[in-house]
Copies of this chain bind each other. A is one copy, B any other.
């Protein structure tokens, strides 16, 4: 089963929206996610339905099929592996990789991905801390918690960010709260939800609730 680049992009968006715990994925949601118009989405949903990567009934909504999930995860796997390559090998910054990976993820060559995976040493997480599915679509996801929801004296490791906008990533980089940093919660201010944390056992950092709620931590 072969998908076009456009179809892959739609399916990936549908997968992500489905995973976000929403009861159903709307045509409008997809249009927003993919920066297109609802009319185009309707058309594409019909096609994806015919290809049986989603179950689609007009006006009723859609559900991604097992086949669809498998294909979406393959694309996500490729995207994240390329991100690792760009950051680890080509010294791209976190916030520079997305656009390029969006293109690279559509390259068709199972051998290429197999070799790339090996070359990168079978990474389990991308530079944003998101898990990389294996070739069968399995993910080893660990339980993660938002930084602002941790208790005082609890420790852990920053593994991902919710908001991966360039501005936010630049900010994190600047204050030294990189993916992989070991942190510990020193204090929480009830009033505004801000937190004080210790980074790598040396630097203390104050963070607003807004910032902290966008940082995901693997508790230890």
Using a CB–CB cutoff of 8 Å, the interface residues on chain A facing chain B are 86, 89-92, 96, 99-100, 103-104, 107-109, 111-112, 115-116, 119, 178, 180-181, 200
Contact = CB atoms under 8 A, between A and B. Distances in A.
Q: Interface of chain A, helix or strand or loop or mixed? A: helix
B119 A96 contact: no
Contacts of A99: 109
A107 B116 contact: no
A86 B180 CA distance: 13
A144 to B, nearest CB: 20
A200 B92 CA distance: 10
A91 B182 CA distance: 11
A18 B197 CA distance: 48
Contacts of A92: 111, 115
The 8 closest A-B pairs by CB, nearest first: A90-B115, A100-B109, A103-B107, A100-B112, A90-B119, A89-B119, A104-B107, A90-B116
A166 to B, nearest CB: 14
A25 to B, nearest CB: 29
Given A89-B119, A178-B91, A96 B108 contact: no
A112 B109 CA distance: 20
25 contacts: A86-B112, A89-B119, A90-B112, A90-B115, A90-B116, A90-B119, A90-B180, A91-B115, A91-B178, A91-B180, A91-B181, A91-B200, A92-B111, A92-B115, A96-B111, A99-B109, A100-B107, A100-B109, A100-B111, A100-B112, A103-B107, A103-B108, A103-B109, A104-B104, A104-B107
A78 to B, nearest CB: 12
Contacts of A86: 112
